[in-house]
Structure 1
């Protein structure tokens, strides 16, 4: 049996980081060697789990490089992870959202040097939804498309990164862009045929729901995904890390993982 993959978790004291650590604790495929957090976090120096073998929460990147890094931090944390991974040739899986154009460009540049998967949503179900939406949007190019997303009341970005990714996938399937055919919010006036709109719901403790409605004359197609447990995103990131570490440098997404599983 091959040795476990050495794994570092960046953003380890955040909501997703905590879920990742709990899932990884019992996953024999991995050995968590580093649990990184931000400077000034009260958990610094504590152990990730209540046992002596667990890594301590730390700020400094390890000297003994891991095989792969999973990052759920923030823009600053992602920038730091990019520096470390490109310097050491380490695969990087990142679910950090809310990044600006300059950081997006750095992500794209890093993919020429390391295996890298950056996604707004690591649900395998959402990956399937994206694949189905791409096919439906291409088959029904003149139908209107409305993407409705719902999240908890504490979420700050709107539309969600996942909703925008779905819209971008649909637009690309129609050989257009969101800049050309996207409609943000409840803009007044009639819409052009084939437009791609977004609607946002915020409230309570909704984990994440996304519905794509393709609307034609007298009929419509609805594709939906509803998350009820936040751990699905961590599970998807873990599966991505296990697959990604063995890939050559490049930019990957969950659909590439699905294709590999299907042998496509």
Structure 2
């Protein structure tokens, strides 16, 4: 099979540059397009140079329709508005759409799901192997422990991150809720301040810290009456997210239309 031709959305950002670097190192993948927001000062720049590589002749463009004419997939770690704009074009062109964008709303998710009858979408709040294994463990532990163990989720990220809780924290919350057999949206405690009263039994709490250059740390705490279990993942370099995203794209290339997750890519569905 020929190399998979990939477009990197948000190619001028930190994640976009990491994706460009990893594509250059991955057998079976090739960069064919670099997408940036209209009006960006980086439009027209060489994607390879921006990523710290030799020039590769792929210039940053704001025109996804043109870029997608000769592509097989798009790696999308941008912002919700941009991702939703990309969804329709990716579906119309028949691209594999790997979505790592966080902060998507329920209505955004509905838009994405609306195209999966004809498009292949792999969507995850985190593309790393370790985090997805962590989510599987969180679900299993939540299944095993009753409500006498309170669940709290902590995420720590760099000062420039714009959404909270992180997409990964919410993914871990969904795993915990699934293990407990409850809907997360009815049990999430997000943002405690002032006189809140005692903790409500069955809640899944979230706390977010932002500062410095932290790539991403996540902990899930099961706090019981006389003991505490803590499951933690620390990201040391965003390259791991890029590696996972490209693995997802290559995996999805021959799949049927539908909505997939990293759980599917990594074979953890029945863990």
TM-score by length of 2: 0.90
Match status 1:223 vs 2:226: no
Match of 2:136 in 1: 131
TM-score when scaled to structure 1? Answer: 0.92
1:59 aligns with 2:58: no
1:110 match: 115
Shift of 1:65: 3.4
CA deviation profile, 1:70-107 (whole Å, cap 9, x unmatched): 11122232123211111122110011122333222111
Q: Counterparts of 1:1-264 in structure 2 under 5 Å?
A: 2-50=1-49, 53-61=56-64, 62=67, 64-142=69-147, 143-186=149-192, 188-259=196-267
Tell me, what secondary structure is at the counterpart of 2:37?
coil
Q: Quick check: 61-70 or 204-213, which moved more?
A: 61-70
The change in CA–CA distance for 1:77 and 1:3 in structure 2 (over 3 A counts) is same
Cα distance between partner residues in 1 of 2:203 and 2:103: 24
Number of residues of Structure 1 aligned to a counterpart in Structure 2: 262
Distance across 1 between alignment mates of 2:174 and 2:245: 21
Bigger mean CA deviation after superposition, 26-35 or 180-189: 180-189
TM-aligned CA distance change 1:118 to 1:63, over 3 Å: closer
- CA–CA distance in 2 between the matches of 1:67 and 1:115? 11
- Residue 176 of structure 2: SS of its match in structure 1? helix
> What do the CA deviations read for 1:139-197 (whole angstroms, capped 9, x no partner)?
11312101111111222222212111211221122111123222123352112333211
User: 1:31-70 deviations in whole A, cap 9, x for unaligned?
Assistant: 2111111111122222212456431111112253311111
> Residues 28, 54 of structure 1: CA spacing in aligned structure 2 closer, same or farther, 3 A cutoff?
farther
SS of the residue corresponding to residue 224 of structure 1 reads: strand
Using the alignment, how far apart are the partners of 1:22 and 1:53 within structure 2?
11
Kindly indicate whether the alpha-carbon contact (under 8 Å) linking 2:37 and 2:62 is maintained by their aligned counterparts in 1: yes
- Runs of at least 5 residues in structure 1 that lack an aligned partner in the other structure: none
